[in-house]
Structure 1
Amino acid sequence: MANADQREQMTNGAGFIAALDQSGGSTPKALALYGVDASDYNSEEEMFAEVQNMRARIILADDFTNAKVIAAILFERTLGESIDGKSVADYLWSEKNVVPFLKIDKGLENEANGVQLMKPIPGLAGTLAKATGVFGTKERSVINEANAEGIAAVVAQQFDVAREVVAAGMVPIVEPEVNIHSATKSEAEAILKAEILKNLDTLNEGQDIMLKLTIPNEANLYDALADHPRVMRVVALSGGYSTEQACDLLSQNGKMIASFSRALTEGLSKQMSDAEFNTALGSNIDKIYQASI
């Protein structure tokens, strides 16, 4: 449930959101980049144990505090894990002053009308009710081309889920990602902006959301969204850009802060000593923080 200190930090805090929500599908790739080969684990259990160790190592690092990281997005399975005897969500807020969010989507449908809608999210009300200590959620769909009908469907679905999250007392991060490789990326972004504005105007006072968007081709395109009274924050996804590129593009958008996953863990490896790991992570955190402020 959203508390007042967390709300203040999410609205006005300087820094960025760490995306630590690699799910079943993206975990093997994230682990491979971290120096853990598929041959190093023999079951899904062991794979998730490896990724939990990676997440815990990141969260425990000295630089992972609200001085630069204002929030972190967790994978649902992580809610049942613990760090130093506390649930991960509790540890984040009580020890690091980092606001916990939960990824709730169950992956993507096959492409239709140039977009990929979210798969149904069975048992969402139960998941939200059980997510103690969690401030909000994150749910992702993907836009591959500038198809007005497809983009309208993505935004409508996102806002339907957002209303359910708000009704449970939490703050949703609505994430309609525009594919960075789309040949019609600029056109898709213009349509997306208009659709989001239209849907924002249907929200009532108190139905506040956040937006997680691909860094737009046109700098500051999403300023009008950031200024909307129902929008707490607009955050940027790295979408496959390198840390360097993502930070460079983000720094041109004054009203967006980062919510990076791959860019945060770039260059980190299991084989590093703790000192090497903390230095490398600290450098990534600083780069992303500077681009966000």
Structure 2
Amino acid sequence: MAKDASIQQQQFDRIASGKGFIAALDQSGGSTPKALALYGVMEDAYSNDDEMFGEIQKMRARIITAPDFGSDKILGAILFEKTMDNAIDGIQVPVYLWEKCGVVPFLKVDKGLADEANGAQVMKPMPDLDALLARANEAGIFGTKMRSVVKEANADGIKAVVAQQFEVGQQIVNAGLVPIIEPEVDIHSATKAEAEDILKGEILTALNALPADSKVALKLTIPNQAGLYGDLADHPNVVRVVALSGGYSTDDACEKLAQNTKMIASFSRALTEGLNVAMSADEYNAALGSNIDKIYQASL
């Protein structure tokens, strides 16, 4: 499905001003075994990477096809590359999301984190990014997501993270996609509040340097100071500011998010909390529906 300008505008409007949240279904190779184990699928259930990704695809398909996974509460969904290439009921997943669920598809494009330097981890190089973005466009993807991590209030480390995020972000904009820029601050950092102040300043500087027509979204850890990122959400280059759950429980993440009126959720682990492969359809749908409703209410 090649890009259609009217669909792209509908998707942009939905992300920019719709009510709801963005579901993160983008666990990659490194985090997949843990995500599967929490779901009740242990490592003895698969013997290689292909079988492991087959199991995570079944898990994601069950979420996407659940009755509560729809456009009334969910604006978008972030996919892993293998999920983008997969199908549900014979329909490629990004197309299924938009046409069957009314949910805007995003793609995780980073290749993981480099080693820590100056209290932060930038992203590993992405030499094949242009080719991946071309495939994403062809598959009907609207935007992308890429993650770096800040572990302490180190100005040099934070500056490096933000510079890389925005440099790659512009490459993504040039390819016709909307990047979600994600410089996560570790929730266990002893200097989390100070790191968030430095991060906000660096992001604001980078936003002010963008061309007027470059639109980005931001995915940020829920800040210690409620409302800290409000003026980032109001910036003309920012489509939306979304929050990551960062390891908080669903209830804690929702409670903290509700104090930040200009952020909506983009939760991964909190979305799937309590789900198990052995649940009956009724049990599963009730548990997922409860999580979706909590996250939706916190995002209003």
TM-score scaled to structure 2, two decimals? 0.97
SS at match of 1:260: coil
| Pair 1:115-2:129 in alignment | no
The corresponding residue for 1:277 is 284
User: In the TM superposition, what is the alpha-carbon distance from 1:138 to its structure 2 partner?
Assistant: 0.1
The amino acid that maps onto 1:82 is A
Q: Superposed, which structure 2 residues align to 1:91-240 within 5 Å? A: 91-131=96-136, 132-240=139-247
Whole-Å separation in 2 of the counterparts to 1:66 and 1:212: 20
Q: Aligned to 1:56, what secondary structure does the other structure show? A: helix
Corresponding residue number in structure 2 for 1:17: 22
Amino acid at match of 2:81: E
Distance 1:73 1:183 in 2: 29
* Pairwise CA distance, 1:206: 1.4
Pick the aligned partner of 1:77 from 79, 82, 94.
Answer: 82
1 CA distance for matches of 2:145 and 2:205? 21
SS in 1 for 2:181: strand
Deviation at 1:202, TM superposition (A): 0.8
- The CA deviation at 1:122 is 1.9
Kindly provide the amino acid, as one letter, of the partner of residue 274 in structure 2. Answer: G
The letter of the residue matching 2:41 is V
Deviation at 1:43, TM superposition (A): 1.1
Pair 1:253 & 2:266 matched:
no
Alpha-carbon shift at residue 79 of structure 1 (Å):
1.4
Aligned amino acid, residue 187 of structure 1: E
Match of 1:65 among 64, 67, 70: 70
TM-score computed with the length of structure 1 as normaliser: 0.99
The CA deviation string for residues 92-112 of structure 1, in whole angstroms up to 9 with x for no partner, is: 000000000000000000100
Opposite residue 203 of structure 1, the aligned amino acid is: L
Code of the aligned partner of 1:197 = L
Which stretches of structure 1, 4 residues or longer, exceed 4 Å deviation after superposition? none
1:275 Cα deviation after fit = 1.1
- Match of residue 5 from structure 1: 10
- The aligned residue for residue 56 of structure 2 is 51
RMSD: 0.7
3-state SS in 1 of match to 2:264: strand
> Which residue in 2 is equivalent to 1:265?
272
